[in-house]
Structure 1
Amino acid sequence: MDSAEELFARHGIDAVSNRRITEHAGTANHSAVAYHFGTRDQLILAMVDRHLSATGERRAQRLAALGDDVGLRDLVAAGILPVVEVLAALPVPSWRARFLRQARSVPSVVAVLATRAGHPDGLEFLARHTPLSTDEGSRKVMQARVGIVSHLVFGVCAEYEARVEDDDEEGTWLDVGYFLVDSVVGLLTAPVTHRSSYLPRSSVPGLV
């Protein structure tokens, strides 16, 4: 999985063969992916699950500690900060954020992920917990904005991960996390100034 993560991040998921992954992992068994995971799709799902497992426990602890009086900023922080904490704990160079950006943007991979519950960033819980207006138009706008969150989070994290690799970073992963919290809260609370018939398609399963 580590070898696949690096190659996918560097070259793109659709551009890397199973054989190339096994060779990069240092094994002469070119059927190793099939032996350990079954199919290429199952390998990708296993890689996504590894990330979700790493962030899920941290996120559950944060949500459990919030209590009853929960504000939007608290929910957003509980969603985003576990992601950057996990990324910060990876060895340098790391490839996780860049792989996940690929995983949630390549059509072939999105089709695979759509067959299962959950999402590669684990942020779909915001759609369940973010207060939505009773007005149908405003509700759809908010749902669409929630769907944009993972684009923003993993775009920024992937860029910072690359800076860390190049020893060109400013600040820390925690700084990145709070920048994203502020940005997402601003996105979700911005006024709706025009009711357009256009809304981006949500990237969160279950949202329309």
Structure 2
Amino acid sequence: MGQHSDRVRNALLDAAEELFATDGIDAVSNRRIAEHAGNSNHSAVSYHFGGREELVRALLDRHTAFARARRAELVAELGEDAPITDLLACMILPFTDLLAARPAPSWRARFLQQLRTVPSVAASVAENVRADPLTDQLIHRTRQHFSAVPDGVFAGRARILGHVILDACAEYESRVQAGSVTADWTGLGYFLIDSAAGMLGAPVTHAGDFLGESTATYLL
């Protein structure tokens, strides 16, 4: 009975992630998710998750263990004076490695991209990112590499990187599905690492907190 329930839950999660990724969070009903999962019980989402917020939380959390384990492996390999690219790798590669490990087609990046447009779940996304105990350590070590960059500028660049990295992964995920590129998530990951290092360390011509308070959402 437990295994059957787990299979049903996973089918619902897979269906929800795909539909949310393609159509948006608010455009997809619980009934449609159940039908897409091949479940004749139109109340299946409510039965297994309790409600829409709990479903979204379950989707957000479902690959957390993978990402955190991968991050821990990378952090364990860091030297005391690790270069900035190695620090950024600890934050970016767990996500691109996760996308590489997902069955094709993957919908994860596009689902997270859609989540970003829903203000009511933005706090949950940030909470999920910052809950990893290694995150603050990595952010602190990364910040030390760019001590000459004002705090407001650094925070704004981190926020921009959040959009750039997630959008790049979502676009790449779509191109992989369409068959226009052969998946090379590792290559994309290192391209994003180099790009992030360049943006964070770029010359500062105008200092100021132009984008307001933000979190390093590129850690997704």
TM-score range, shorter chain: 0.7 to 0.9
Partner of 1:188: 200
Q: CA deviation at 1:106?
A: 2.3
Relative distance call for 1:197 and 1:142 in structure 2 (3 A) is closer
Matched, 1:58 2:60: no
1:27 aligns with 2:45: no
Q: Residue by residue, what CA displacement relative to the aligned partner does 1:94-114 show, whole Å, maximum 9, x if unpaired?
A: 111100111233223215446
Q: CA RMSD for the aligned pairs?
A: 2.5
TM-score norm. by structure 2 comes to 0.82
Equivalent residue number for residue 17 of structure 2: 5
Structure 1, unmatched stretches of 5+, are none
Q: Counterpart of 2:143 in 1: which secondary structure?
A: coil
Partners of 1:148 and 1:58 in 2: CA distance: 24
- Structure with greater proportional helix content: 2
TM-superposed CA distance for 1:67, in Å, is 2.7
Task: State percent identity of aligned pairs.
Answer: 49
TM-score by length of 1: 0.86
Matched residue type, 1:69: D
Residue 139 (1) aligns with residue 128 (2): no
Q: Partner residue of 1:155?
A: 167
Q: 4+ residue runs of structure 1 moved beyond 6 angstroms?
A: none
Answer whether contact 2:71 2:90 (CA < 8 A) is retained: yes
**Structure 1 residue 175: deviation in Å?**
1.3
Instruction: Output the amino acid matched with 1:42.
Output: E
Report the Cα distance in structure 2 between the residues aligned to 1:93 and 1:193, rounded to whole angstroms. 43
| Aligned-partner Cα distance in 2 for 1:101–1:6 | 12
Aligned to 1:89: 101
Q: What is the correspondence of 1:168-183 to structure 2 with a 5 Å cutoff? A: 168-169=180-181, 172-183=184-195
1-10 vs 69-78, greater mean Cα deviation: 69-78
Q: Is the 8 A contact 1:118 1:124 kept in 2?
A: no
- 1:91 is paired with a residue whose SS is coil
CA displacement, residues 91-146 of structure 1 (integer Å, 9 cap, x when unaligned)? 111111100111233223215446xx3339x79545333225667x7012112222
SS at match of 2:129: coil
Deviation at 1:34, TM superposition (A): 1.6
Structure 2 match to 1:118: 128
